[in-house]
Structure formats: structure tokens, C-alpha cells
Chains A and B, each alone.
Chain A
Amino acid sequence: MNGIHDLGGMHGFGPVDPEPNEPVFHHEWEGRAFALNLATGFLGRWNIDMGRYAREHMPPAEYLATTYYEHWLYGLERLLVEKGLVTANELATMRQNGRAQGLKAIAVEDVPMMLRNRRAARMGDRLAPPRFKAGDRVRTKNLHPTGHTRLPRYARDKIGVVDRDHGVFILPDEHAKSGTKVPAHCYAVRFEGRELWGPHAGPRDAVYVDCFEPYLEPAS
């Protein structure tokens, strides 16, 4: 979706503002919000692409006025209701109307295994033959889906060169929609700064974007 999360190339944000000796979490609730996202994610009712898509729905003005873990909290509440773990009424009142059926909370002793054994997004390379190879000139499609996509706006309808084929991965677009794991080659595509940003870009600047094969077509 053409959401506010897709920030690449925007002006007006001001300087980057690093904080010396920054803590991992600035407040206790940030750690809790982080851990709640992981612990409920481990229940297997949604995948990482559904998680990202949920956060992308935050209204733009709200997204920009809130901090990172508030985005995570928004996405989590949305998913809990959407996937039926919590009812809208329970979320509104913060009181349970019955314990969850058929789901068991991740136990503390399972945490290390869950962090190590997460099913990766990589799929077998033999599941799909590659349409492109390193050195091929490609053009990204001019796509504006209302669903989830990982092709940023600044890199649509642009010509680049395949730098490398990363192999076959789950296509996020369909994964966010239905949970179906569609295998797709993922390529690092090199775009020259001037192709993306015009004549004022540095002549020796390039941006590499990881592009799934359905985002690409051959360029002459």
C-alpha cells in the first residue's frame, strides 16, 4: 500500500539525531510491547508480512506523531482482533470474556528455541527457475497495490541492473494477504542515483534494492 511507512526520498524531516549511549529500551513499556509482539507472533496465527502490513495501516498523521513501539502496539492490537485471538470488545474493555481455545502461551523455556528456530523466509532454490541473472538490465513495474508490497515507491518504474540473485524467498505480497508461501527469486538490483533522483544525484551514488521477481520485467 502507498502508506506513510514508505519514507524513502522524502524531504523535510530534518537532520538525523543520534543519541549517545542510547539504551535498548527507553521505557519499560517499550520492552513489554516488543516482547508481546514476539510472544504472540510465536503462536503462529500470523506471519511477519502480516505484521508489517498491520503496522502500515496506522493513519499517516498518527504514524508520524508517535514513536516506533507505538507503531508495534498499534499493529499488534489490530492483528489480535483480526486473527481472532481477542475480540473487539475485549480490546475495548481490556477484560477477557473467556480464555483462548486451542492455543498455548510460549513458555519461558521455549524462548531460546523460538528465537533460533524461526522458520526462515528462504525457500528451496529449485522451487522456481530464475528469470534474471547478475548483469541483466531490468525495469521495476509501475505497481501501486493496496495490499502489502516491498517495492518502495521511489524504486517503481525505474531501470536497474541485477547485482546478484539471493535465491528463492516467500513473496511478501501474497504472504501478507493469504498466508500462502509463493516462491519467488529475490534479486539485489542496483539503481544509479541519477535514475532514481534525477540530475542532482551524485554521479557515484547507487542504491541497491532487494526486488522480488514479480516486481521486475526485462529492460531493453
Chain B
Amino acid sequence: MSEHHHDHDHDHEHDDRPGPHGAPLSDVQLRVRALESLLVDKGLVDPKALDTLIDTYQTKVGPRNGARVVAKAWLDPAFKQRLLADSTAAIAELGYIGRQGEDMVVLENTPKVHNVVVCTLCSCYPWPVLGLPPVWYKSGPYRARTVIDPRGVLHEFGVDLAEDVEVRVWDSTAELRYLVLPERPAGTEGLSEEQLAELVTRDSMIGVARVNPPRR
């Protein structure tokens, strides 16, 4: 998948160079701490509110929400119809609303059309259904290349599309937030909504992966 190698076992806290997976520079850490103290001293920020914000996106809001939307759409044709017609309202039926998901658009992948989402200008991403974006989504390679070489990027993710499949890249340049409805894999007949949701990955809802059938 990657030409250069990273040792994911090492302790990032002790790496002293900025890397693609986070900048472990201690002076950045000190600067953020000093800034937080300053803002608390000035009465502009309550540290407990910061804890709650962090906890919300670390433990409560994430791609399992989106997976539930996808699984329900696979099982319930009426919901799927509502989801494609008014994505924001249909997603809100499951309680997923709010910041960075105020105006949702769901894109359906089919055997003939493959949708993939990017934000070339910053990092726009549908928080209520996917949580905060991974580093690769916000990185130079993904933002630079997805619009000019979508099939090359998809190949790196292990998705090879036939020539007659149309690729649609969606650049999130405004306040619409896009969620891909991946194809339901074969061999999933009879699975419950919960079992289907287990199969749905974050990457499949960005459009850089397919959903794999369950392992036997």
C-alpha cells in the first residue's frame, strides 16, 4: 500500500520529528498548554468543557454511526429512498445531527458508478456519522491526488475498478457533507442490521474501500 515504511509500534511521544501521523514536538505541547492556561486565566475557556469536547469525539461520535445508517439502508428500501432523497432528514431519524453534518448528501455506489469523497481545500468531513477524519484524509497526498488521479489513489487502497465503471470524485468545497452508501456485499442475505453494520468500515463510507463479505 505504501512505498515508505513506518514503524507503528514505536512510541510517538518520543519521536522528535514531525511525521505524517502527528507532530510529537514537545514545544508544540508546551505551547498548547500555555495557550490553554492563558485562555482559562482570561475567563474565555473552561477546561472541563474542553474535556467534554474531546471525550465526545474520542468515544461517542464515530464511524459506527454511519455504519448504522448504511446497514439500515441496505435492509429497509423505504429508508434508503428517504436517505437518497433527503439525506439530512433520514440520518436525523437515527439521531445523528449537528456540527459538520447540518447538510448531508448520501451518494450511492453501484456496479457502474463509484463515488469517492475528498476535501482538497481543508478537511471537510461528516462528523456526526464518521467522527473526526483520519490523518490520511487531511494529508497532502490524498487532497492533491484524488481529484487528478482517483483510480491511482483507489488502487493504493486496494480498489481496482473496471474501465467501464464511472468514477465520481466529490470535492467538499462548501457546507454540504458527503457520505458514500457502499454496495452491499454478496453473501449477506439473512444478516441482521447489527451484523451488517459490523461489516461497514469508515473507508467504505468515504469511498476508498469496498465492504467485504463476512468471513466464514
Whether A116 and B32, one on each chain, are in contact in the complex, defined by CB atoms closer than 8 angstroms, is no
Q: Which residue of A8, A166, A211 is within 8 Å of B148 (Cβ)?
A: A8
* Size bin of chain B's contact surface: 35 or more
Among A27, A99, A186, A201, contact of B22 (Cβ-Cβ < 8 Å) = A27
Q: Give A70-112 as 1s and 0s: 1 = Cβ < 8 Å from B's Cβ atoms.
A: 1001001100100001100011001110111001111110111
Query: Contact between B174 and A99 (Cβ–Cβ < 8 Å)?
Result: no
In the complex, the answer to whether B44 meets A103 with C-beta atoms within 8 Å is yes
Chain B proximity of A145: nearest CB distance (Å): 14
Whether B165 is near chain A, meaning CB under 8 Å from some CB there, is: yes
Indicate if A15 sits at the interface (CB-CB under 8 A). Answer: yes
Question: Are B41 and A96 in contact (CB-based, < 8 A)?
Answer: yes
Report how far A28 CA is from B143 CA in the complex, Å. 26
Per the 8 Å Cβ criterion, residues 110-161 of A in contact with B are: 110-112, 115-118, 120-122, 150-152, 154-155
Given A29-B29, A32-B54, A207-B168, 8 more pairs with CB closer than 8 A: A24-B58, A29-B28, A68-B138, A99-B43, A104-B43, A122-B102, A169-B174, A209-B173
Q: List chain A positions with a Cβ less than 8 A from chain B.
A: 5-11, 13-20, 22, 24-36, 38-40, 43, 52, 55, 64-70, 73, 76-77, 80, 85-86, 90-91, 94-96, 98-100, 103-108, 110-112, 115-118, 120-122, 150-152, 154-155, 166, 169-170, 172, 186, 188, 190, 196-197, 201-202, 204-212
Give me the interface of B with A, judged by CB distance under 8 Å: 1-4, 6, 8, 12-13, 18-24, 28-29, 31-46, 48-54, 56-58, 62, 97-99, 102-103, 105, 118, 120-123, 131-132, 134-136, 138-145, 147-148, 150-151, 153, 156-157, 163-176, 203
